[in-house]
Amino acid sequence: MGIPALHSLENLMAELARNHSDKIFDISPMGCQTGFYILLINYENYD
């Protein structure tokens, strides 16, 4: 996947995920471009 497509997918996923969950802070691509990191806020406080 090219960098522009990866960036578009990252923005789409982050926007949609943040609109549907209070837990998600950010979604970022891994440096190797084989997956994404998902950063959560206060994850242990959620059931």
Q: For the chain (length 47 residues), average pLDDT per consecutive 10?
A: 85 86 83 83 65
pLDDT of residue 46: 54
pTM as predicted? 0.62
Q: What is the pLDDT of residue 45?
A: 59
User: Which pLDDT value is given to residue 43?
Assistant: 58
- Residue 24 has phi, psi (to 5 degrees) of -85, 125
What are the boundaries of each domain within the chain? 3-45
Instruction: Tell me what pLDDT residue 33 has.
Output: 78
Consecutive H or E run containing 15: helix 3-20
